[in-house]
Structure 1
């Protein structure tokens, strides 16, 4: 019974992609390659990018920009969340600013960065931080404010050190929100960095997509797009594994019930 359920879940997870691939392959029989290239050609290009160090460097450059921007926004967002949680006045002052920033389109941040800054890498870092900072901050401040006050006071009664308080009280409370914020921002960051590279970079996946567009090479455009898709899927799976390990006690509690 259990194996049947697992197989059913796998089937329904894979079936939509198989149908989409079949429809695309069918369209490739009737349309020219610059519109609907064969999936064989697309995945041949994917493999060429992976094994060609000269091309794969562009993938690594984009991945590095995504991770650097996310880490910068995460650190800054964590500091802001702590300040906002400690001081209602700071919260009232910063929250509207972050909400305002959240409404600014990513393309606008790209334009601002090009006007304000000269270096390409700092431009992209700035864009990544500004587009992902509000989500990180709001997720973490929400987790901090949702902590049980009674539980917090009970833990204080044991006179823990700051490290013990962080490890036993704060971290378990905020970690689910932190991991969720990383999952959400990861996909957003992948989209934003491509836009930033399209208009202001001399390397990376976005730059390569621009080259494919100029050549009307749909197979190449899809191959470079899949590089980012693979990165997002793999990274989200790693985050899920961390989540399962960090909260493995929940599965034990559910089984005991």
Structure 2
């Protein structure tokens, strides 16, 4: 058994994968080691042992009364992102087709981008009574501009030659979208979801800290009042796990959807 591919041109795929995993894990392993060492010299409310944090994470995941708060936050993030994406994609289509719409909505979205998430939280608390609608409103308004501009940029970046070639076959609107538009904008859509996912997880925590009676943000507030750093880290890690899982799902979707690119590259 050799460590090279047929022809001796390079390392086997398994060795490459192991090397990538080790390089990715090394910084986190170092951070964990430094934290664990610090826990030996500082009190638990500053640097709790990672063992304590692990057991708190396990407690959250195995007790329904606590897991329901994680699920509530997850649903709020997904609902807000879905709403912002649908609205943003519709706006992008209108702006791409109409210069007047672009001139009208573009400055408004740019203005919205400059408003801090905390300001939207304050506005939502003043304007609305329902907690869920408040959080949905905050999530949509904070992620809408990024979705809109990302989809708009993808639409405008489509090759004019490609558009003319496809239109010469006089396809139906459904076929135009499936064959030409969707493949062209899907990479930017996935990128927008990846970027907004991290932003949304931070925004929802702020919204829950101020105006909710449940969720990860609310639980973080409880841990802060108790000076329970192990609990605060455990609840924070629930969101980190969620973001990593969804990021991985998006990467898998991207890999499957554009597998033809790798095939094309190998055939060159």
The normalised TM-score by structure 2 is 0.95
1:15 equivalent in alignment to 2:26: yes
Q: Secondary structure at the match of 1:4?
A: helix
Aligned ranges for residues 11-50 of structure 1 at < 5 Å?
11-50=22-61
Distance 1:86 1:6 in 2: 45
1:246 corresponds to:
257
Aligned ranges for residues 228-239 of structure 1 at < 5 Å?
228-239=239-250
2:179 corresponds to:
168
In structure 2, which of residues 77, 80, 85 is the aligned counterpart of residue 66 of structure 1?
A: 77
Distance 2:65 2:262 in 1: 45
2:191 corresponds to:
180
CA positional deviation for 1:254: 1.2
In the alignment, structure 2 segments of 5+ residues that lack a partner are 1-10
RMSD of aligned C-alpha atoms? 0.7
Distance 1:6 1:167 in 2: 34
The normalised TM-score by structure 1 is 0.99
Distance 1:237 1:5 in 2: 19
Distance 1:147 1:4 in 2: 38
Q: When the two structures are aligned, how many residues end up with a matched partner? A: 257
CA positional deviation for 1:10: 1.4
In the alignment, structure 1 segments of 5+ residues that lack a partner are none
Distance 1:7 1:68 in 2: 36
Q: Secondary structure at the match of 2:46?
A: coil
Distance 1:138 1:185 in 2: 12
Distance 1:4 1:82 in 2: 45
